[in-house]
Amino acid sequence: MSLVLRETALAFRRAPLLSALSVTTIAFSLFVFGLFGLVAVNIQRAIGNVAERVEVVAYLKRGTPLQAVALAAADIEAFPEVESVQHVTEQEALARARRDLREFQDIFQDLETNPLPASLDVRLRPAFRDVQRAAAVAERLAALAIVDDVRYGREWVEKLDRLRNIAGAVGTVVGAAFALVAIIIIGTTIRMAVLHRSREIAIMRLVGATDGFIRRPFLLEGILKGLLGGVLAVGLSYGGYALIDAYLLRASFFTAAQATLGVAAGGFIGLVGSLVSVGRHLRST
Amino acid sequence: MSLVLRETALAFRRAPLLSALSVTTIAFSLFVFGLFGLVAVNIQRAIGNVAERVEVVAYLKRGTPLQAVALAAADIEAFPEVESVQHVTEQEALARARRDLREFQDIFQDLETNPLPASLDVRLRPAFRDVQRAAAVAERLAALAIVDDVRYGREWVEKLDRLRNIAGAVGTVVGAAFALVAIIIIGTTIRMAVLHRSREIAIMRLVGATDGFIRRPFLLEGILKGLLGGVLAVGLSYGGYALIDAYLLRASFFTAAQATLGVAAGGFIGLVGSLVSVGRHLRST
Amino acid sequence: MIKFTGVTKEYLKTGAALKQVSFHIARGQFAFLTGHSGAGKTTALRLIYLAERPTAGEVRVSGFSTARAGPREIPRLRRRLGIVFQDFQLLEDRTAEENVAFALEVTGARHTTIRPRVMRVLTQVGLAGKANQYPRELSGGEQQRVAIARARVNDPVVLLADEPTGNLDERATRGIFQLLKDINASGTAVLMATHDLDLVRSMDAHLIELQQGEVVYDSAEDAAGRQPVAP
Amino acid sequence: MIKFTGVTKEYLKTGAALKQVSFHIARGQFAFLTGHSGAGKTTALRLIYLAERPTAGEVRVSGFSTARAGPREIPRLRRRLGIVFQDFQLLEDRTAEENVAFALEVTGARHTTIRPRVMRVLTQVGLAGKANQYPRELSGGEQQRVAIARARVNDPVVLLADEPTGNLDERATRGIFQLLKDINASGTAVLMATHDLDLVRSMDAHLIELQQGEVVYDSAEDAAGRQPVAP
Ligand SMILES: Nc1ncnc2c1ncn2[C@@H]1O[C@H](COP(=O)(O)OP(=O)(O)OP(=O)(O)O)[C@@H](O)[C@H]1O
Ligand SMILES: Nc1ncnc2c1ncn2[C@@H]1O[C@H](COP(=O)(O)OP(=O)(O)OP(=O)(O)O)[C@@H](O)[C@H]1O
Ligand SMILES: [Mg+2]
Ligand SMILES: [Mg+2]
């Protein structure tokens, strides 16, 4: 083992440029992953935030007694899809409209009668926040006697669904492309390191080294470079995150577990890259 | 020249793997650029679309005679910042509100009197669509006798400004990071090709080759690989664009000039990369 | 120890480099392999250390056979051999000492024993003072002596030497030759390819002469008296 | 033609490889450079083709001087020389023919003239039949002959040969030596480093002997009669 470590140290010492560049390449490949990972993490969070707000609103007939409303609310709260039900009176609706629609403040200011109906605002449970479920709940609410009309922001929910799909598709496509880039780059780097040392490998064989013995320092080198690259990539991603968080918009960073996984991925990529490159070289000569 | 071409062809033939990988690396680096370029192109277009809609709205006092409105509109149209002025009557304002605010359709349906005022909608020329200019115009409009109140969507315009700034900052940061990646990767690839052929270079010198002669095939190789990589990158970007355009959202692609510039950039990167790598090698030995 | 039985080696481009070659070198023997340039000496040695496989026939070396040995056995065979290559085969980015130590490390030798053994053989070839120099900082003859030290450091059962004195002057040649005889005296068989006929004549060793891939003289077979073909 | 004036070459690790060396080789002369391994022969040749610069003193070659020549003049000098290196220096991924042609292409020779000239010199060194083989497919002696062909193909004014017969058998050695004499007869000066004393004795040429970096014998200076130190 000490020989393997020494050989690895020698590899770094003898070709510091090449080694540094391998590490940089792995780091940048993982950094690209990291950037897209961050985008994914933050879109996921944003979707979570938006999804929070999906609700079904049942406008009540004018003059419905409060008791009937309370009864209906209790019924609705018992639906499996429903998280909570809130009764918004006519006065509350007007206050809310004034607050939310500041462009039309004047209109609401000048009104002589309150044109807004009271409503029951129904929040769905997280797992049920999609178009089909919202439509189903809306249908059941519309059947109630006290309900005049039901709105559930169909378009909005549909848009949200599409955003989720788009994020998934873009993530998959771009992620796959960059996985390919990273693997090609790392493979190249190690392959060239092997080529660079092909004379050494040939001589090792001539003096009786086994393939395992020849392979070991390359594998260790690959793992070490990969780990180092992974650490660098996490650092770079953190820098990028910090910049964006400070100057552009509030964002989240990876959890410690995700970051550790990233570093481990670096080591794994390094190992696989060197295994493939060295293996091919040993078989071909 | 024919020798240079032959040497370059030989380089590809002798190290097909290495050459293919250099091209792939350059292609992927430029592809990364390309992806961000596409995002930039499309954000720019989107900003253009949004900016189109920046306008200053002057609400008119109730009962202003039509003649006075027409006179004021003509005056305003003469402002250097103004592109066009549209008179929206009280009836038109209500119709528009009913159309635009479908959530509140019911409210507008039930109204007995029309609470909305008439307005003059002022479009600014493209170059003047920012907060400062809109504010200046709004001030001048507020001074007119027939005008009751002026709105220019301050928040919205400010948001647009910030979006432009964010897009610029993200573009610069990410662009710079990827420029660095591309240069490092290309430099590495060519440096390793040079190392791989260092014995050949040493022997060339021993038999009397000038540095210029030694450099030439590497430069040509670098340029060719760069151009090839650039073509591939444009192809890949087009594939990415086509996928996004078909499945996600309507997008624009580069113009022919931009694409050509991308390919040329590949050649230029290849040239610079090989110049630096070969130059350093020749000086160091 | 080393036994060639009807060995033929053909190359695509050049045809047969060895044709129906048979000879036997006994344990502990000192043997010369001579012949003009291109006669097949290097090819014969490469068959012994399994860098090539014969087209026909069999080569047996110290219990290994080209007919049976799989790829896993090649390293085991080579550790029992010491090889001096015609073109040195030194690593350019290692010092003389590291080049010699390399051959021991590869076999997994214990670390504490490596340095003393390396310095001892370097002293034997007269390079103790240049242990820290890189090959490019050594003269051609000095590089050859590093290569010999590397082949010797493993205490091999057979030492194969492909023209070990080709680049040496007369004095150094005598020194190396004496070294090879000493190694042989300690029980190691030595097979030396050379065209230095002065050396060959100076010693009463087993002599095999190749000509265009064929054995034209073998002192073990023709003890009766046929003379070598070359003058 | 070649003039050493008080040339000293010191290396950091090993000290002086050449000490106050002065000699002169005239245009068209045939000269031997002899001496034991490590005496400084290769170092002297490297100074001539400007692979090294002297620590003190001056080397003049065919109008170039180590004291004045800038880096741009090195290629111009080398095109006027033919060099045979002790370790061949062939490109492994080119055939024998391509290796020889290489030296012509580098000088910008016209393409149509290259092939016939290459084939002529390959024929002269007896390798016309192996023009398409790669170095690893040639025997050591054959590789050396490719190197000699490459040095010769340029019609140099001086041919520097660092032990060109080190790896050759007697017959091939005589062939190569004859070739060098022929080249010399056509007007090219030849400087040959060697420790083959048989060769040296066989010809009445200019003889310079080095010992530990010093000139101990120069037949041009000591025409009076001092004998070479080595036997
Ligand atoms: N890999 C190969 N492919 C084709 N031909 C080869 C190969 N290796 C050797 N040869 C040919 O086989 C013949 C014998 O070569 P070998 O190297 O065994 O000669 P040798 O006796 O060692 O000569 P020398 O004294 O010059 O080293 C030569 O003609 C050579 O060209
Ligand atoms: N680059 C270098 N750095 C340090 N020492 C060197 C270097 N090159 C040569 N030497 C030393 O200079 C001395 C002379 O070497 P040189 O190669 O000139 O000898 P030589 O006469 O050619 O010997 P040989 O016959 O063995 O080839 C040797 O002792 C060698 O170790
Ligand atoms: Mg040989
Ligand atoms: Mg020498």
Residues lining ligand 2, judged by CB closer than 6 Å? Answer: C 130, 136-142; D 11, 13-14, 17, 35, 37-43, 86
What pLDDT shows up at residue C201? 92
Determine A/D contact with 3+ CB pairs under 8 A as the test: no
Q: Say whether both A94 and A202 belong to one domain.
A: no
In this structure, the residue with its CA closest to atom 12 of ligand 1 is C17
Least confident segment among A173-182, B70-79, D93-102: A173-182
Least confident segment among B21-35, B179-193, C20-34: B179-193
Largest CA-CA distance found in chain D, in angstroms, rounded: 52
Q: Where are any strands of DSSP class E within chain C?
A: 2-11, 15-25, 30-34, 56-61, 64-65, 81-84, 158-162, 189-193, 206-211, 214-218
Query: Any idea what the CATH number is for the domain that residue A100 is in?
Result: 3.30.70.3040
Nearest to A209 among C75, C83, C89 (CB): C75
Test B14 with D93 for CB contact under 8 angstroms.
yes
pLDDT in tens, A112-132: 667 778 888 888 887 777 777
Mean pLDDT of C120-128: 88
Q: Closest residue of D to C140, CA-based?
A: D86
Q: Decide if pLDDT at D231 tops 60.
A: no
Which of A179-188, B144-153, D198-207 tops mean pLDDT? D198-207
Among residues 170-189 of chain A, which lie with CB inside 8 Å of chain B? 170, 173-174, 177, 180-181, 184-185, 187-189
The domain in which residue A261 lies consists of 2-49+161-284
Give residue D62's region: left, alpha or beta (phi > 0; psi -120 to 50). left
Least confident segment among A206-215, B93-102, C193-202, D198-207: B93-102
Q: Say whether both B265 and B177 belong to one domain.
A: yes
Min Cα separation B162/chain A (Å): 9
Q: Say whether both D176 and D136 belong to one domain.
A: no
Answer yes or no: are the C-beta atoms of C8 and C56 closer than 8 Å. yes
What pLDDT shows up at residue D217? 94
Is B19 part of a structural domain of the chain?
yes
Is B156 part of a structural domain of the chain?
no
Q: Decide if pLDDT at B210 tops 70.
A: yes
Sheet holding A147-151, edge to edge: A82-88, A119-124, A55-60, A147-151
Nearest to D106 among B2, B199, B209 (CB): B209
Of the residues C99, C121, C155, the one at which a domain ends = C155
Q: Which ligand is nearest to the CA of C195?
A: 1
Test D139 with C195 for CB contact under 8 angstroms.
no
Ligand 1 atom at minimum distance from C41 CA: 21
Q: Say whether both B137 and B236 belong to one domain.
A: no
Q: Say whether both A35 and A60 belong to one domain.
A: no
Q: Say whether both C110 and C203 belong to one domain.
A: no
pLDDT band, very low/low/confident/very high, at A92 (cuts 50, 70, 90)? confident
What pLDDT shows up at residue B93? 80
What pLDDT shows up at residue D100? 94
Mean pLDDT of B48-55: 65
Q: Say whether both C75 and C109 belong to one domain.
A: no
What pLDDT shows up at residue B242? 84
Q: How many domains does chain B have?
A: 2
Q: Say whether both A144 and A96 belong to one domain.
A: yes
Is B63 part of a structural domain of the chain?
yes
Q: How many Cβ contacts (< 8 angstroms) between chains A and B?
A: 97
In this structure, the residue with its CA closest to atom 28 of ligand 1 is C38
What pLDDT shows up at residue D225? 46
Q: How many domains does chain D have?
A: 2
Q: Say whether both C63 and C165 belong to one domain.
A: yes
Least confident segment among A3-12, B104-113, D117-126, D212-221: B104-113
Q: Say whether both A37 and A62 belong to one domain.
A: no
Q: Decide if pLDDT at C231 tops 70.
A: no
Test C140 with D87 for CB contact under 8 angstroms.
yes
Is A32 part of a structural domain of the chain?
yes
How close is the Cα of C164 to the center of ligand 3, in Å? 11
Q: Say whether both B261 and B181 belong to one domain.
A: yes
Ligand 1 atom at minimum distance from D169 CA: 25
In this structure, the residue with its CA closest to atom 6 of ligand 2 is C137
pLDDT band, very low/low/confident/very high, at D66 (cuts 50, 70, 90)? confident
Q: What predicted TM-score, i.e. pTM, was given to this entire model?
A: 0.71
Q: Decide if pLDDT at D192 tops 90.
A: yes
Q: Say whether both A139 and A232 belong to one domain.
A: no
Nearest to A207 among C51, C76, C103 (CB): C103
Test A196 with B191 for CB contact under 8 angstroms.
no
Please give the Cα distance from B90 to B98 (Å, whole number). 13
Report ipTM for this prediction: 0.70
Q: Say whether both D138 and D160 belong to one domain.
A: no
Q: Say whether both B227 and B274 belong to one domain.
A: yes
pLDDT band, very low/low/confident/very high, at C116 (cuts 50, 70, 90)? very high
Q: Which chains touch D (3 or more CB pairs under 8 A)?
A: B, C
Among residues 26-45 of chain B, which lie with CB inside 8 Å of chain A? 28, 31-32, 35
Q: Decide if pLDDT at A104 tops 60.
A: no
pLDDT in tens, B4-37: 677 667 767 766 766 676 677 677 777 767 776 7
Which of A99-103, B167-171, D112-116, D227-231 tops mean pLDDT? D112-116
Of the residues D110, D129, D155, the one at which a domain ends = D155
Q: What percent of chain B has pLDDT over 90?
A: 1
Q: Say whether both B43 and B66 belong to one domain.
A: no
Nearest to D142 among C35, C38, C139 (CB): C38
Q: Where are any strands of DSSP class E within B31-167?
A: 55-60, 82-88, 119-124, 147-151
Of the residues B121, B151, B181, the one at which a domain ends = B151
pLDDT band, very low/low/confident/very high, at C58 (cuts 50, 70, 90)? very high
What pLDDT shows up at residue C230? 47
pLDDT band, very low/low/confident/very high, at C27 (cuts 50, 70, 90)? very high
Min Cα separation B217/chain A (Å): 20
Determine C/A contact with 3+ CB pairs under 8 A as the test: yes
Is A156 part of a structural domain of the chain?
no
Of the residues D133, D155, D177, the one at which a domain ends = D155
Answer yes or no: are the C-beta atoms of D186 and D216 closer than 8 Å. no
Length of chain C (residues): 231
Q: Decide if pLDDT at D186 tops 80.
A: yes
* Mean of pLDDT over chain B: 76
Ligand 2 atom at minimum distance from D210 CA: 21
